[in-house]
Amino acid sequence: MICLWRLRNFYKVKLTIVNMEIYLDNAATTKVDEKVAEIVNEIMTEDFGNVSSLHAKGRKAAERLGEARKRLAKYLGCDPTEIIFTSGGTEGNNLAIRGLAKANPSKKHIITSVIEHPCVLDTCKDLEKEGYEVDYLGIDSEGLVSLDEVEEKIRKDTLLVSVMHVNNEIGVIEPVEDIGLICRKHGVYFHTDNVQGFLKEALALASIDLMSVSGHKVCAPKGVGFLYVRDGVRILPILTGGGQEGNLRSGTENVPGAVGLAAALDVDFRIGEVRASRDLVIEDLKKIPGAKINGSIKERVYNNISVSFYGIEGESLMLMLNEDKVYVSTGSACASKKLAGSYVLEAMGVDEMYLHGSLRLSLGVDVIGNEDYVVERIRKHVLKLREMSPFKFSEENLSGSLNSSKGGSSLTGGSKSEILGGSTSLEDCSDCVNGDDNDKEVVDNEKEN
């Protein structure tokens, strides 16, 4: 009986390890916190009225919305009237930039950075078609904008400077408070996209005129966010209709989402523990030949790791990790058979042979205690992809490339363009993604022991 009990529990542990999921894509979205979900469900099933309705259900919904607005305002240290609920970061950024432009048609110059979220960059491109001039701030090799360049580019007709607080890909924290002070000195409005920084990195509003936030990045539901608009800053709506949110954002209010976003203020993100785990993972990743950490280590949000591996495809690596139930994202986008390098890494001057081999790990509590397993899986698959490649990698050059993003090619037998179109493409990687079950068992056994 004792032997059977031990055997049964051995397989139980084995099953737990094999089925373990490690979610490391929190910059894409987060799991809704259980307590937040309970509160959201309460609103959806009990206080579900329309805020515009005059009966008791409507008045109760309006009360819950008002409470959420006050909670967020208290956290930020602003007035509740300065909080405009939106559907998320994209709408908030559009409302800030387009709304400010509509309200101030005499000024036609905007400044932003080359690494902003596409919803900011595409909005600026649209405004260029309407006659606006847009200057794009560059970044250094650490991913940081220059305060001197911000000041140099400000003109008499500059309406707005928009620079994100935390970059969504490399996790670098931009000096937005200082940028805001420069803007204030010159009488220019300053907007920051704080989708990736809210509840993660402290940010004072003293020099900020507009700030966008999204709920689903902080364990609140998708489809809700807010735009902070400092009192005295005039913007015009980009949506017309019922005149909700102080006539700045028409549409029936998302009360469950707003209450859930306010409830997320109570979530324990275990920031200190996750930061410690991140540092452990970074140190071990740097030991993998041909690995490079992208962006500033010092000025980085607590849960981000952007890492590139020389001469491989990040998409293939991501899919292999997916088979291990380790969920990450890549730093480059793949459309059909054509690989497009990350515009953020390109702006940093990252070498082409690193550009397509990037991963973004945005950590949460799942990583705590699983640091070694995550690194081992990444290491194994990186070596596997290089082994599959028809090109030979020089160990000397791979080791030397750790300290340089501009290192020369350490491949023989083909050009840079050939390796990106060679046997490590997504189409040719089905065997390495799906046919490595024996290797999975070995690592699982090692973890048990």
Burial (Cβ within 10 Å: 0-12, 13-18, ≥19) of residue 361: buried
Residue 414 contacts residue 390 (beta carbons within 8 Å) = yes
Q: State the Cα–Cα distance between residues 25 and 261, nearest whole angstrom.
A: 20
Residue 411 contacts residue 391 (beta carbons within 8 Å) = yes
And the tokens for 216?
């689903």
Catalytic residue among 3, 119, 334, 432, which? 334
In this structure, the strands spanning 333-335 and 338-340 are antiparallel
Of residues 257, 304, 262, 232, the one with CA closest to residue 27: 304
Secondary structure of the chain: what % helix, strand, coil (to 5)?
45, 15, 40
Residue 147 contacts residue 178 (beta carbons within 8 Å) = yes
Give a three-class secondary structure readout of 395-408: HHHHHHHHHCCCCC
Hey, what amino acid is at 42?
E
Chain center to CA of 30: 10
Chain center to CA of 75: 22
- Is 78 annotated in the active site? no
The label of the residue with tokens 């507009």 reads 210
Of residues 219, 173, 199, 169, the one with CA closest to residue 23: 219
Positive/negative CA dihedral, 170, 171, 175, 179: positive
Q: How many helices and strands (H and E) does the chain possess?
A: 18, 17
And the tokens for 298?
């010092």
List active site positions.
334
